[in-house]
Structure 1
Amino acid sequence: MRRVLLAVVALSAMLVAACDDAGASPSAPASTAPAAAAGGACQLLDFAAVNAKLGLQLSVAMGASMGNSFSCALEPAGGGYPDLVLSVTSTTIDADVYSASIAPQGAQAVPDLGLVAYQRPLPPADKAGPGAEVGWLTGNKRIIKLALRLASGTPDDKAAEAAPKLVELAKLIDLSSL
């Protein structure tokens, strides 16, 4: 279980680090290709659905995989923030273990999402502004985390407004991962 958590964290960190070169986008130009074309967990995302749910203009996707973990980062054509990172890892744990070991302390439970789910605000970090995170254990034994980071200087109340929208997007992703 600890290896699964470390793989999710490492893969997510690698994707964020790859996208955070002084706030610039990797050398990949903006694409009109669907997000799924980037591979990794991007296969679970669609630019139109993400942008409609979150009110954003994300158009660049970067996918990665390592073992049984898959990630995807979406960002605007100009790079930087806002960005959305999705990570998916297969597991053998149950809802009790997820709640005790994976869900962050103090996170708010999310009903009607997977077997067990949480949401929490994310404070500003590095060059990113505040954000929100939703994590859950799916019925088919996957740990999924969806994190939205807004631009630096964005007021915390804007991140709070985005949190329920992120939960709704998570519910769409959960349906597609059955």
Structure 2
Amino acid sequence: MRRVLMAVVALSAALVAGCDDAGASPVAPPPTAPAAAAGGACQLLDFGMVNAKLGLNLSVAAGASMDNSFSCVLQTAAGSYPDLVLSVTTTTIGADVFSSAIAPKDGQAVPGLGLVAYQRPTPAAEKSGADAEKSGPGAEKSGPGVEVGWLAGNKRIIKLALRLAPEAGDEQAAADMPKMVELAKLIDLSSL
């Protein structure tokens, strides 16, 4: 089970970090083009729906897939943050294993989302790994964020993460938490 968890975490990180690698398809669509055109988990997202729920202006999408995992990153055309990351991985685990092995210890339960779900704030962070090496000293930081994860009824582990701009405060992330939960519920319905 720990190997499955580590594989999901590693794959999500690789898919998000590798959006400019082979298999990823960054797309700067015109305002009327759907995010789904980027492939991967972007097929579950729509710029209009996301922007309306979160009050953002995301317009660039990059999707990737590997084996039974799919990811999508939405960003503004103006910069790296805010960004929204969606990852979806098929699984055979049940709600009990998700709660004990996948959901973070600091996550709060989210009723009415999937079989079992959590939400949690995430701290501001500097770019790491290859991103930091490419950027050099003074690598761009993200602001705080919000993460919602759940086990969908169709046996998929889904994680939705919003990272805000560096100047955003924790109060903005707290205000975005219920918006992210509502967006997650819409995605959960569209993933059936």
Q: What pairs up with 1:18-57 in 2 under 5 angstroms?
A: 18=18, 30-32=28-30, 33-57=33-57
For structure 2, which runs of at least 5 residues remain unmatched after alignment? 127-140
Q: Does 2:10 match 1:10?
A: yes
Give the CA deviation at 1:18: 4.5
Using the aligned pairs only, state the percent identity: 76
Name the TM-score, length of structure 2 as normaliser: 0.84
Name the TM-score, length of structure 1 as normaliser: 0.91
Q: What pairs up with 1:126-145 in 2 under 5 angstroms?
A: 126=126, 127-145=141-159
Q: Corresponding residue for 1:82?
A: 82
Partner Cα distance (1:17, 1:2) in 2: 22
Say how many residue pairs are matched.
Answer: 173
Deviations 1:37-90 (A, max 9, x none): 100000000000000000000000000011100000000012310000000000
Partner Cα distance (2:4, 2:42) in 1: 20
Partner Cα distance (2:159, 2:49) in 1: 17
Native 8 Å contact 1:35 1:42 kept in 2: yes
Give the CA deviation at 1:3: 4.2
Partner Cα distance (2:189, 2:80) in 1: 29
Q: Corresponding residue for 2:114?
A: 114
Q: Which has the larger radius of gyration?
A: 2
Give the CA deviation at 1:30: 2.9
Give the CA deviation at 1:172: 0.1
Q: Give the partner amino acid of 1:150.
A: L
Q: What pairs up with 1:153-164 in 2 under 5 angstroms?
A: 153-164=167-178
Q: Give the partner amino acid of 2:89.
A: T
Q: Does 2:74 match 1:92?
A: no
Partner Cα distance (2:91, 2:125) in 1: 29
Give the CA deviation at 1:28: 5.3
